């Protein structure tokens, strides 16, 4: 670690007058101050006032609209349990899964469909999918590579609609799915993949 003389920090924190420092330390204090001055230069940027005020003037959604939106938005739910209970839950989940499999797989509502995500990441330790369906929250939907062949898969039920998404590899690398139905440019000038989920029952 690159430690510097603590008196430099004291001077920069206003606890010590720079004039009391030896010349070589004063030079370092000036160097940091000069860097800060440069960064404090006003940024040439377009005012956000008009877009903020336009958003503010739009009528707020009603309580019913907010509730409806919350209901159709996927949410990650986390809960903590004692290990002994986890065994019981695992057994119950296994039984439920067996029944679900007999019943023909995922249960779909009238306006829901199945989205399948597949990506080949041979060296990945983890792969997640993030997108407009989960508010771009990393970590909530994991893909699995059950046979360790480097092909990661996830199948989820979503309300019918068009969603943008990306893969997050090893928790940090954001990668578009080039096999997606479509790719669109996002506000960062990069490409998001697009999946269209069609309702299973028409």
Site residues (vs other proteins, CB under 8 A): 1-4, 8-9, 12-13, 28, 31-36, 38-49, 51-53, 55-57, 60, 136, 138, 172, 174, 187-188
Contact present, 165 and 175 (Cβ < 8 Å): no
Angle (nearest 5°) at CA 194 between 188 and 199 = 145
- Report how far apart, in Å, the C-alpha atoms of 13 and of each of 7, 21, 35, 83, 120 are: 10, 14, 15, 49, 51
CB nearer other proteins, residue 52 or residue 67: 52
Q: Which is nearer to other proteins, 136 or 159 (CB)?
A: 136
155 DSSP β-pair partners: 116
Nearest distance, CB of residue 183 and other proteins, angstroms: 17
Closer to other proteins at the Cβ: 41 or 62? Answer: 41
Closer CB to other proteins, 119 or 131, in the complex: 131
Q: Shortest approach of other proteins to residue 65 CB, angstroms? A: 15
Give, in order, the Cα–Cα distances in Å from 46 to each of 24, 42, 51, 176: 41, 12, 11, 30
Q: How far is the CB of 106 from other proteins (least distance, A)?
A: 28
Tokens representing 76?
A: 């990650």
Instruction: Report the nearest approach of other proteins to the CB of residue 40 (Å).
Output: 5
Q: Is 127 exposed, middle or buried (0-12, 13-18, 19+ CB in 10 A)?
A: buried
Least Å distance, CB 55 to other proteins, is 5
* Terminal Cα distance for the chain, rounded: 63
């Amino acid at each position: 670690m690159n430690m510097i003389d603590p008196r430099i920090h004291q001077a920069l924190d206003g606890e010590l007058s720079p004039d009391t420092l030896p010349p070589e330390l004063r030079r370092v204090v000036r160097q940091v101050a000069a860097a800060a001055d440069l960064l404090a230069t006003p940024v040439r940027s377009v005012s956000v006032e008009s877009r903020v005020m336009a958003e503010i003037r739009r009528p707020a959604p009603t309580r019913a609209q907010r509730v409806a939106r919350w209901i159709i938005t996927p949410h990650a739910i986390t809960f903590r349990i004692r290990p002994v209970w986890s065994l019981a839950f695992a057994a119950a989940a296994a039984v439920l899964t067996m029944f679900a499999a007999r019943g023909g797989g995922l249960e779909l509502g009238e306006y829901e469909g199945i989205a399948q995500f597949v990506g080949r990441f041979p060296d990945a330790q983890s792969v997640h999918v993030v997108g407009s369906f989960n508010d771009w929250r990393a970590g909530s939907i994991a893909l699995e590579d059950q046979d360790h062949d480097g092909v990661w898969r996830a199948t989820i039920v979503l309300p019918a609609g068009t969603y943008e998404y990306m893969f997050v590899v090893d928790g940090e690398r954001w990668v578009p799915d080039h096999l997606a139905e479509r790719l669109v440019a996002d506000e960062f000038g990069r490409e998001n993949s697009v999946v269209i989920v069609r309702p299973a029952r028409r």
